[in-house]
Amino acid sequence: MISLLIVFGLIAAVILYVIVTYNGFVTLREKTNEAWSGIEVQMKLRYNLIPNLVETVKGYAKHEAGTFEAVTRARNEAMANDGSPAEQAEAENMLSGVLKSLFALAEDYPELKANENFQSLQDQLSEVEDKIQSARRYYNGMVRDNNIKIDQFPSNLVANAFNFLKAEFFELAEDEEAARKPVDVKFD
């Protein structure tokens, strides 16, 4: 009788562990999805600022059409990218690079740097860049927690049984050293 109670107790403990661990995986998955959504919101704000910035600079630098086309093309490619975090990071790296060239172009036009609209857009873009970095850190933290739990024993048994998968980090490309530098939007 006592051995039967011990067996039922062990079975109940295992079932309880599986339920708690499963729910933990669901929570981590949803927090990771929420964190990715935060990155997407900030990137959309960035995408919306770029056309205004380009139009403001265009008014001062009419003969720089190639730069404007590159910025527009990079923005459109980044917006259209619905791929993995790694693919999105690659598109964002390209966009950051062309934005740097746009701001470098603005250096040649002192009257542009003094323009209130340009200054306002520059400040807004800087703020959005900071929020994107913060959202990336939060997302990568959630991915780390999720992936650790998937790898740890005995929770990995539950992860494998219910097909919980590791998430991808949102990282800059390792071979693009310039992409690791933040977009400089200060002209002071």
Q: Is residue 187 in a domain?
A: no
Q: Which tops the pLDDT comparison, 161 or 92?
A: 161
What percent of the chain clears pLDDT 70, i.e. is strictly above it? 89
Burial tier of 183 (Cβ tally within 10 Å: 0-12, 13-18, 19+): middle
172 pLDDT more than 80: no
Q: Is residue 131 in a domain?
A: yes
Domain with 175 in it: 2-180
Domain containing residue 172: CATH number: 1.20.1440.20
Q: Is residue 17 in a domain?
A: yes
Q: Determine the pLDDT at residue 182.
A: 54
* Band of residue 157 on the pLDDT scale cut at 50, 70, 90: very high
CA–CA separation, 172 vs 89, rounded Å? 6
3-state helix, strand, coil in the chain (%, to 5): 80, 0, 20
- Sequence-distant (6+) residues with CB within 8 A of 158 are 18, 21, 22, 25, 164
The number of C-alpha atoms within 13 Å of 2 and in the hemisphere containing its C-beta is 0
Measured over the CA atoms of residue 90, residue 92, residue 96 and residue 101, the dihedral's sign is: positive
Q: Which tops the pLDDT comparison, 24 or 56?
A: 24
- Sequence-distant (6+) residues with CB within 8 A of 48 are none
Q: Which tops the pLDDT comparison, 57 or 143?
A: 143
Q: Is residue 49 in a domain?
A: yes
pTM of the model: 0.74
Task: Give the model confidence (pLDDT) of 173-184 as tens digits.
Answer: 544 454 445 555
Q: Is residue 135 in a domain?
A: yes
Q: Is residue 188 in a domain?
A: no
Q: Is residue 72 in a domain?
A: yes
33 pLDDT more than 70: yes
User: Hey, which of 29-38, 47-56, 113-122, 170-179 has the most confident mean pLDDT?
Assistant: 29-38
Q: How many structural domains compose the chain? A: 1
Q: What is the mean pLDDT of residues 139-154?
A: 94
